[in-house]
Amino acid sequence: MNKQVQTPEQSAGDRIDERAERIKQATSSAVDSTREAVERAADRVEESLHHATDKAAGAAHKASDKAAQVGERSREVYDETIDRADAWLEQVRDYVREKPVQSVAIAIGAGWLLGRILRR
């Protein structure tokens, strides 16, 4: 029978050690829970940022495509306008070649009328 009798100081020390160990475990558990919560929140923030970035990239891509379409349509309209102006100019040249006297009379009349309008 090798039972040792503990002194009150030893008994109090053991109780303090036990409570300290429980506090340590509770603190460790709280730290782990907090770490997990922070990691989950960070994951949600990262996911939200990726989603927002993807959405912004999609919008930028759509805007770029639309700008390219507008640019292409502008080029088409410009080319059509140039073609029409060239065709009109060719018609005027043909008219002047076919009827030079009338063309000069029309030019003089147009010049006189323009002069009257601009003098006012």
Dihedral angle, C-alpha 52, 53, 56, 57, nearest 10 °? -150
Q: What is the pLDDT of residues 4-26, one digit of tens each?
A: 677 877 788 888 888 888 998 98
Task: Give the global pTM.
Answer: 0.47
Asked if residue 2 belongs to a domain, the reply is no
Asked if residue 65 belongs to a domain, the reply is yes
Asked if residue 3 belongs to a domain, the reply is no
Q: What is the pLDDT of residues 93-114, one digit of tens each?
A: 999 999 999 999 999 999 999 9
* Cβ atoms of 14 and 6 closer than 8 Å: yes
Asked if residue 1 belongs to a domain, the reply is no
Q: What domain count does the chain have?
A: 1
Asked if residue 28 belongs to a domain, the reply is yes
Q: What is the pLDDT of residues 65-80, one digit of tens each?
A: 999 999 999 999 999 9
Asked if residue 87 belongs to a domain, the reply is yes
- Structural domain including 106 reads 8-119
Q: How far is CA 40 from CA 8, 26, 35, 95, 115, in A?
A: 48, 21, 9, 82, 82
The token pair at 117 is: 């309008």
CA 83: distance to chain centroid? 38
Q: Is the predicted pLDDT of residue 2 greater than 70, yes or no?
A: no
